[in-house]
């Protein structure tokens, strides 16, 4: 058996026909500057070929997995990749459901839960029946004798049988009937639907055209005559009486009108007043549009989501919500962190008798083991009810990693994409133990990583570079930590050895401008904290995951800033003073950039506008009478109409993911032949979109406006991106740095408060060095910067640090330390201080 995976002649994307060896049953770190080709090796070459070979060995058709551009790969094992894409977009999915912890809890509540008989009020245990009969099964097949319910052991009257299904908001037995287990209902937005200040004849109803205004208006007026209320079509709706407005909204057949006129039959025809009702019609149309996404999208703006009035957002039926174990119902337990859920499980073992616990002993042990795994990967602060959609890529990845730990698989190749993303340095050591455990039980663990602590603990390191994009794709160094450190051409080796170190600003800035004050913040887990941010300085907000950093910076400061600058009522979660010092507040989070799937690097940064104007001035363009509009792939005119300027066409594949093929007309060029005939320095507009930022700098060195914007992209470490690269393919860190580059190119860039969320995500130490200089430059221009960050190099260069803790979830929300980085290091209570002291 081979003791290594051998890759020969890899040429995918920017890889330069490289060959390398990956030792088996080792912890191997794949590193290098951003865009050097790490993901191409790990996922697009290695993982893809593993899948292809595995399916081929089973005799399955593998057209979906095209062989990567590589001469050969030998010694492969079955592969499991755990990347950072959070593809779960199901609104029903929560941390509890995706981890299956909620499933185990539903068993516990069906077996051990206490409830009161609705007839006599006495306490009843769901499993007072013989356990061989009542087993809490999903299909309830053994409970057929109790379909109508079961007798209360106290009063003998029938009460419903509660099974596992009754504690699930995804099943009809347990889901709230009003919201179907979502916890939210779609409520019509009256301001979007109608203008109360106008009359019907003046166009008060936004949904009605002239024909509907006349027809429905007459129907409402005639209904008024039928029922005895007045509906004056020339009178503003706000002056109508309550009955008339109720009829206008709900219609003749609604329960509201039947309750107001119980003795009267509705009009027989539409002209006589048999009117459907504005809201009734809208709800019906929305319900019927479920098979037409386009129609549903058009109607969405007339609704907003609100907490379900029946279950109050709890998602379950009342009878399920009233069941308790150790004094807490399953709804309130779901609001707790995974750490607290573990405490709850331990409490069960103490409060129930040995005989009672025998029923659920395997469930208790499985729960404890599973919960401890999630704590080991640093996500113990997450609550069970947390929506899966809201998880960051790093959180979703660590949840999947913890789930894999319980499988006990051996002989597997695990491919992980920066598992330390979003982790505090304190938790990195725990994650390392998890990775080493996977290795020690007989697996190969290949990790894309930039964290120096992870590299120092690796068995083998592969450094890809030397640069990004076309300047990368080569193996710069490989071997043990010592061997990489002794490779003179390896940037990574120099940072590991300490011969290259992080950027440091010239000195602490003196505070001359006052403070931004936050008083009594109570958002999420924040415990009524008050804190000051010095103006004109860089402040790092630190702390373990879930300790309250984002709650303070984004849920308090950013929300209050939006209210202040838009003259809206301030949120009640805190009092914030000092926005008068700023001309504006800019938030850089890790959300996707661009509102459209057509958005790309060039369009988002406004570089493409300059490029289109340049191309429109070319001799060939003037000859063809082409304008800047013709060089846009978003509007008809110059684009290829077959693919509508996308260069590719989507083919629906029944029962399989849709496939993309190159447009047969433009061959992926996006534009018509006449537009492509105009060239700048030998490059057509399509060629320009295919250039990396680095190459584009050489092409546009004489075009000042374009060149400067490209320079800013290079400054923030994005020289490897292609101008036409879709915004949808960018990571959260890349998206945030593009926003930063766009801001650097802004004509007004002073007296601004910047709020950033871990801008170093996905960055190599050398890229962090470049980013640090940019952040320092922005503050030197008279701006104030507040950064949520785990990276010790950024924390060390900050003027001021605010450290949250001591832990995540309920154990967080307190300011542990604040001051200069040196002050933080001297604080024994601060995990961040200890990590800083160890690093510096």
pLDDT tens-place string over residues 6-36: 999 999 989 999 999 999 999 999 999 988 9
CA distances from 782 to 203, 754, 758 (A): 51, 11, 22
Q: So what's the pLDDT on residue 72? A: 95
Percent of the chain with pLDDT over 70: 92
Q: What is the pLDDT of residues 153-171, one digit of tens each?
A: 888 888 888 889 999 999 9
Residue 806: is the preceding peptide bond cis (ω within 30°)?
yes
Q: How far apart are CA 489 and CA 474, in angstroms?
A: 12
Q: How far apart are CA 162 and CA 103, in angstroms?
A: 15
One of 3.50.50.60, 3.90.79.10, 1.10.540.10, 1.20.1580.10 is the CATH number of 601-729, namely 1.20.1580.10
The region of weakest confidence among 212-226, 241-255, 499-513, 659-673 is 499-513
CATH number of 187-307: 1.10.8.280
Is 243 in contact with 214 (CB distance < 8 Å)?
no
State whether residue 755 is helix, strand or coil: strand
Helices 354-376 and 101-112, axial angle in degrees (round to 10): 160
- Average pLDDT on 535-563 reads 94
Q: How far apart are CA 408 and CA 410, in angstroms?
A: 7
DSSP assigned state of 148: T
Q: So what's the pLDDT on residue 659? A: 62
CA atoms within 13 A on the CB side of 823: 11
Q: How far apart are CA 272 and CA 253, in angstroms?
A: 14
Instruction: Output the six-digit token pair for 48.
Output: 């893809």
Is 430 in contact with 453 (CB distance < 8 Å)?
no
CATH 3.50.50.60 fits 4-86+392-497, yes or no: no
Q: So what's the pLDDT on residue 580? A: 94
Residue 561 reports pLDDT greater than 70: yes
Q: What is the pLDDT of residues 615-638, one digit of tens each?
A: 999 999 999 999 999 999 988 889
Residue 121 reports pLDDT greater than 70: yes
- Average pLDDT on 278-303 reads 81
Q: So what's the pLDDT on residue 574? A: 93
β-strand partners of 80: 414
Hey, what CATH topology would domain 95-181+314-375 get?
ABC transporter ATPase like fold (1.20.1580)
Q: What is the pLDDT of residues 759-815, one digit of tens each?
A: 888 889 998 998 898 899 889 888 999 999 999 999 999 999 999 989 888 889 999
Question: The dihedral of CA 95, 97, 100, 103: what is its sign?
Answer: positive
pLDDT band, residue 481 (cuts 50/70/90):
very high
CA dihedral 288, 290, 293, 295 (to 10 degrees): 10
Q: So what's the pLDDT on residue 129? A: 42
Q: What is Dmax (Cα atoms) for the chain?
A: 95
pLDDT band, residue 86 (cuts 50/70/90):
low
Residue 142 reports pLDDT greater than 80: no
Q: So what's the pLDDT on residue 404? A: 82
Instruction: Output the six-digit token pair for 666.
Output: 């433009």
- Average pLDDT on 407-420 reads 90
CA dihedral 830, 831, 832, 834 (to 10 degrees): 90
β-strand partners of 802: 541, 818
Element (H, E) at 9: strand 4-10
Q: So what's the pLDDT on residue 301? A: 81
Q: How far apart are CA 707 and CA 605, in angstroms?
A: 12
Is 134 in contact with 124 (CB distance < 8 Å)?
no
Burial of residue 209 (number of CB atoms within 10 Å: 0-12, 13-18, 19+): exposed
Q: Using alpha carbons, select from 396, 464, 520 the residue that is nearest to residue 720.
A: 464
Instruction: Indicate if 515-591+750-839 has the same CATH topology as 4-86+392-497.
Output: yes
Q: Using alpha carbons, select from 401, 414, 497 the residue that is nearest to residue 448.
A: 414
Task: Report the first-to-last Cα separation within the chain, whole angstroms.
Answer: 44
β-strand partners of 477: 463
β-strand partners of 639: 671
Beta-sheet strand order (sheet of 474-479) = 79-82, 413-417, 444-448, 27-32, 460-465, 474-479
CATH number of 515-591+750-839: 3.40.50.300
Q: How far apart are CA 3 and CA 25, in angstroms?
A: 8
Residue 325 reports pLDDT greater than 70: yes
Q: What is the pLDDT of residues 590-619, one digit of tens each?
A: 777 765 668 899 999 999 999 999 999 999
State whether residue 676 is helix, strand or coil: helix
Q: So what's the pLDDT on residue 137? A: 42
Is 23 in contact with 462 (CB distance < 8 Å)?
no
Find which of 381-395, 433-447, 658-672 is predicted with most confidence, using mean pLDDT: 433-447
Q: What is the pLDDT of residues 503-527, one digit of tens each?
A: 877 667 776 679 999 999 999 899 9
- Average pLDDT on 646-657 reads 68
Instruction: Output the six-digit token pair for 673.
Output: 């032949």
**What DSSP string runs through 569-600?**
PPPTT-EEE-GGG-SEEEEE-SSPP-SSTT-B
Residue 60 reports pLDDT greater than 60: yes
- Average pLDDT on 190-198 reads 91
Domain boundary assignment for the chain: 4-86+392-497, 95-181+314-375, 187-307, 515-591+750-839, 601-729
Residue with the larger pLDDT of the pair 128 and 621: 621
Element (H, E) at 355: helix 354-376
Is 19 in contact with 7 (CB distance < 8 Å)?
yes
Q: How far apart are CA 54 and CA 411, in angstroms?
A: 14
Is 444 in contact with 435 (CB distance < 8 Å)?
no
Q: So what's the pLDDT on residue 51? A: 83
Residue 128 reports pLDDT greater than 70: no
Is 414 in contact with 82 (CB distance < 8 Å)?
yes
Residue with the larger pLDDT of the pair 129 and 665: 665
* Neighbour tally for 758: CB within 10 Å: 25
- Average pLDDT on 237-262 reads 94
Residue 144 reports pLDDT greater than 50: no
The rounded mean pLDDT for the chain is 88
Burial of residue 676 (number of CB atoms within 10 Å: 0-12, 13-18, 19+): middle
Q: So what's the pLDDT on residue 397? A: 83
Q: So what's the pLDDT on residue 138? A: 44
Question: Left, alpha or beta for 747 (phi > 0: left; psi -120 to 50: alpha)?
Answer: alpha
Sequence length of the chain is 840
Residue 747 reports pLDDT greater than 90: no
- Average pLDDT on 701-705 reads 94
């Amino acid at each position: 058996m081979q003791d290594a995976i051998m890759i020969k002649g890899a040429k995918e994307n920017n890889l330069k026909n490289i060959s390398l060896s990956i030792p088996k049953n080792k912890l191997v770190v794949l590193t290098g500057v951003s865009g050097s080709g790490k993901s191409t090796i790990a996922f697009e070459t290695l993982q893809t070929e593993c899948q292809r070979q595995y399916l081929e060995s089973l005799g399955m058709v593998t057209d979906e997995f095209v062989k990567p551009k590589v001469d050969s790969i030998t010694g492969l094992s079955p592969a499991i990749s755990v990347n950072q894409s959070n593809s779960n977009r199901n609104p029903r999915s929560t941390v509890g459901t995706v981890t299956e912890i909620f499933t185990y809890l539903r068993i516990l509540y069906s077996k051990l839960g206490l409830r009161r008989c609705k007839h006599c009020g006495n306490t009843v245990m769901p499993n007072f029946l013989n356990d061989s009969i009542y087993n809490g099964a999903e299909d309830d097949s053994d409970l057929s004798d109790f379909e109508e319910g079961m007798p209360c052991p106290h009063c003998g009257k029938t009460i419903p049988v509660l099974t596992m299904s009754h504690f699930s908001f995804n099943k009809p037995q347990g889901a709230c009937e009003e919201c179907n287990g979502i916890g939210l209902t779609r409520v019509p937005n009256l301001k979007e639907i109608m203008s109360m200040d106008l009359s019907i004849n003046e166009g008060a109803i936004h949904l009605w055209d002239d024909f509907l205004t006349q027809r429905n208006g007459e129907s409402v007026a005639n209904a008024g005559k039928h029922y005895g209320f007045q509906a004056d079509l020339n009178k503003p709706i706000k002056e109508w009486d309550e009955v008339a407005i109720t009829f206008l909204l709900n219609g003749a057949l609604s329960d509201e009108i039947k309750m107001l006129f119980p003795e009267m039959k509705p009009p027989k025809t539409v002209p006589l007043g048999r009117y459907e009702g504005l809201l009734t019609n809208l709800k019906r149309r929305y319900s019927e549009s479920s098979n037409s996404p386009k129609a549903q999208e058009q109607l969405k703006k007339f609704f907003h989501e609100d907490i379900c009035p029946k279950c109050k957002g709890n998602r379950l039926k009342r009878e399920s919500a009233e069941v308790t174990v150790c004094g807490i119902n399953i709804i309130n337990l779901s609001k707790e962190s995974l750490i607290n859920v573990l405490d709850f499980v331990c409490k069960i073992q103490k409060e129930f008798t040995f005989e009672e616990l025998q029923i659920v002993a395997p469930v208790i042990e499985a729960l404890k083991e599973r919960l401890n795994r999630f704590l080991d990967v640093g996500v113990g602060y997450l609550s069970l009810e947390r929506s899966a959609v809201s998880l960051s890529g790093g959180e979703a990845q660590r949840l999947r990693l913890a789930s894999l730990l319980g499988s006990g698989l051996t002989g597997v190749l695990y491919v992980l994409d920066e598992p330390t993303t979003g982790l505090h340095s304190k938790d990195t050591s725990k994650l390392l133990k998890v990775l080493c455990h996977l290795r020690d039980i007989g697996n190969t663990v290949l990790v894309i990583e930039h964290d120096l602590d992870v590299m120092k603990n690796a068995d083998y390191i592969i450094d890809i570079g030397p640069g990004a994009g076309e300047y990368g794709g080569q193996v710069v160094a490989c071997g043990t930590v010592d061997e990489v450190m002794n490779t003179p051409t390896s940037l990574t080796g120099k940072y590991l050895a300490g011969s290259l170190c992080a950027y440091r600003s010239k000195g602490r800035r003196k505070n001359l401008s006052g403070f931004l004050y936050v008083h009594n913040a109570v958002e999420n887990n924040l415990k009524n904290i008050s804190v000051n941010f010095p103006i004109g300085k860089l402040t790092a907000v630190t702390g373990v995951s879930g300790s309250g950093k984002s709650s303070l910076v984004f849920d308090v400061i950013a929300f209050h800033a939006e209210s202040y600058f838009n003259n809206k009522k301030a949120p009640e979660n805190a009092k914030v003073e000092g926005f008068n010092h700023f001309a504006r507040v800019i938030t850089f989070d890790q959300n996707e950039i661009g509102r459209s799937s057509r958005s790309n690097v060039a369009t988002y940064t406004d570089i493409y506008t300059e490029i289109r104007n340049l191309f429109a001035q070319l001799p060939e363009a003037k000859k063809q009478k082409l304008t800047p509009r013709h060089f846009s792939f978003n509007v008809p005119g110059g684009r290829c109409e077959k693919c509508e300027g996308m260069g590719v066409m989507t083919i629906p594949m029944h029962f399989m993911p849709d496939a993309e093929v190159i447009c047969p007309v433009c061959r992926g060029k996006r534009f018509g032949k006449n537009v492509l005939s105009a060239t700048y320095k030998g490059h057509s507009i399509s060629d320009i979109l295919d250039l990396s930022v680095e190459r584009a700098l050489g092409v546009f060195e004489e075009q000042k406006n374009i060149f400067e914007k490209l320079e800013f992209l290079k400054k923030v470490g994005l020289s490897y991106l292609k101008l036409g690269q879709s915004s949808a393919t960018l990571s959260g860190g890349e998206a945030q740095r593009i926003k930063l580059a766009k801001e650097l190119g802004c004509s007004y860039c002073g007296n601004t408060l910047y709020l950033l969320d871990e801008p170093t995500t996905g960055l190599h130490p050398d890229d962090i060095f470049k980013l640090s200089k940019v952040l320092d430059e922005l503050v030197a221009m008279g701006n104030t910067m507040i950064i949520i960050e785990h990276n010790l190099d950024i924390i060390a260069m900050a003027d001021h640090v605010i450290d949250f803790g001591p832990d995540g979830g309920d154990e967080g929300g307190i300011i542990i330390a604040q001051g200069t980085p040196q002050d933080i290091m001297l604080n024994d209570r601060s995990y961040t201080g200890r990590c800083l002291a160890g690093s510096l």
